[in-house]
Amino acid sequence: MKSDNAVLLFLSFILFFFVLAACGNSSMEKEYERIKSSDLTGDDLRIVLIEFELNNMNHFSSKVDIGGYYLITGNIERALDYFLRAEKLAARAPRNRETRENTAIMYGSIARIYLMQSEFIKAMDYTEKAIAENKNESNQYRFLQAHILTAQQNQDEAIALFYELYQTQRDSMDADDIRAFMYLLATTGRYSDCAELVDLYFEKGPYFPGLGLFASGAYENSGQQNKAILAAFLEYEYHSSYTTTDDHDFLRNIDNMEAQLNFMGTLERSEATIRLLRSLFDNSDLVFRQGNNTFFAEDYCVIKKKILSQSITIAEFERYLRLERYFTRFPVYYWNVWQAALICQPEALANYVPALEKIILLDRNGRYAQPVWEELTRLMGYTTE
């Protein structure tokens, strides 16, 4: 009888312990949800999350979230530390949907860090774990595998995987995926496919130094002569946005290109495009007929010429504003916005002050900085004298 009582007492104690643990976990999760649903952001949120994690050392999701913060902000070592600490707790975390998603994020993030550190075998192992944990979202980790194969210089395998994903997941490719794939295609001489990826990159990714020249080569080798010429101009336009350049050098390059195309017997296909580019640097009139499927760089040049000649219409100005997604890294684009506003909407200049501010954000000491400050000063009612 005493033995039975002892067993009952022991079972009661165990039950009481689990009830306390469950209540504690419930309270802890409620507190964590309250923090995540608060209005805190950035460093303020990080500080609160770290305090919570220190008080709840066995909490899994908080370590993943803190690791994610450090990864996004570029503190790779601290990010990896939190993710590896979270990994030790993953098996004990509640097996619900949130845990599975966070576990996949954790494995995928560790894989990205190991890729940055050139630990390719470890990186590939962790992508496999991420895929196994969340098969519904596996494609993002398969893209990561393609990047790992690229870094390992396994070009054939990387291209095969990128091709497979491109056929079914084109819309989910981000700028880094597209950029990696198009460079792979160029190195293997698949220029038609490469040019198609360049088009996609222009739609989805920001401009970077060298993109115009790379795109020009892809277009030229795929038989798209006018796009090749306009892409090369984009590189010059980007460079001259940040550095004072001699336009005569660019015009001499156009002369040389024209002579080369004439020698090849293909000048007639590009005479109108060459005239368009020259018109941006001299006083010649714009005589140009755009096609139905206009390359965005062509549209940019046509409207820029209208701005320079002060003949732009409201409709053309609105079309120019719709080109912004291609030119977010070009101070000259925003300077042109301001010049167009002076012509088309001088009564509403305050609406276009953000264009001037964007120039300062891009290059506060660049070639457009002084004119921008002068315009802002004038708007505030002061003079520069």
The domain containing residue 128 runs over which residues?
18-137
User: Could you tell me if residue 28 is inside a domain?
Assistant: yes
pLDDT in tens, 330-369: 999 999 999 999 999 999 999 999 999 999 999 999 999 9
Where are the strands (E) in 271-329, listed by range? none
Taking a C-beta distance cutoff of 8 angstroms, is the pair 131, 111 a contact? no
User: Could you tell me if residue 368 is inside a domain?
Assistant: no
Q: Which two tokens mark 109? A: 């993030």
User: Could you tell me if residue 133 is inside a domain?
Assistant: yes
Helix axes 225-242, 331-344, angle to 10 degrees: 90
Mention every residue, 6+ apart, whose C-beta is less than 8 A from residue 81: 67
Taking a C-beta distance cutoff of 8 angstroms, is the pair 323, 300 a contact? yes
In this structure, the number of other CB atoms found within 10 A of the CB of residue 260 comes to 11
294 sits in which H/E element: none
**Residue carrying the six token digits 């909490």:** 59
Taking a C-beta distance cutoff of 8 angstroms, is the pair 80, 98 a contact? no
Q: How far apart are CA 109 and CA 79, in angstroms?
A: 9
User: Could you tell me if residue 66 is inside a domain?
Assistant: yes
Q: How far apart are CA 115 and CA 120, in angstroms?
A: 6
- CATH number of residue 97's parent domain: 1.25.40.10
102 exposure class (CB count in 10 Å sphere: 0-12, 13-18, 19+): buried
User: Could you tell me if residue 287 is inside a domain?
Assistant: no
Mention every residue, 6+ apart, whose C-beta is less than 8 A from residue 367: 240, 241, 242, 243, 244, 331
Q: What is the pLDDT along the chain (385 residues), one digit of tens a residue?
A: 545 554 444 434 433 333 334 444 567 777 777 877 767 777 788 888 888 788 888 888 889 999 999 999 999 999 999 999 999 998 888 778 888 999 999 999 999 999 999 999 999 999 999 999 988 888 999 999 999 999 999 999 999 999 999 999 999 999 999 999 999 999 999 999 999 999 999 999 999 999 999 999 999 999 999 999 999 999 999 999 999 888 888 889 999 999 999 999 999 999 999 999 999 998 777 766 665 668 999 999 999 999 999 999 999 999 999 999 999 999 999 999 999 999 999 999 999 999 999 999 999 999 999 999 999 998 887 665 5
User: Could you tell me if residue 94 is inside a domain?
Assistant: yes
pLDDT in tens, 183-237: 999 999 999 999 999 999 999 999 999 999 999 999 999 999 999 999 999 999 9
What does the DSSP assignment read for 121-144? HHHHHHHHHHHHH-GGGTHHHHHH
User: Could you tell me if residue 83 is inside a domain?
Assistant: yes
pLDDT in tens, 312-322: 999 999 999 99
Q: Which two tokens mark 107? A: 């494995």
**Residue carrying the six token digits 């409201």:** 314
**Residue carrying the six token digits 């994690």:** 53
User: Could you tell me if residue 82 is inside a domain?
Assistant: yes
Count up the domains in the chain and report the number: 1
In this structure, the number of other CB atoms found within 10 A of the CB of residue 31 comes to 14
Q: Hey, CA dihedral for 122, 75, 178, 210, is it positive or negative? A: negative
Q: What are the percentages of helix, strand and coil residues in the chain, rounded to 5? A: 80, 0, 20
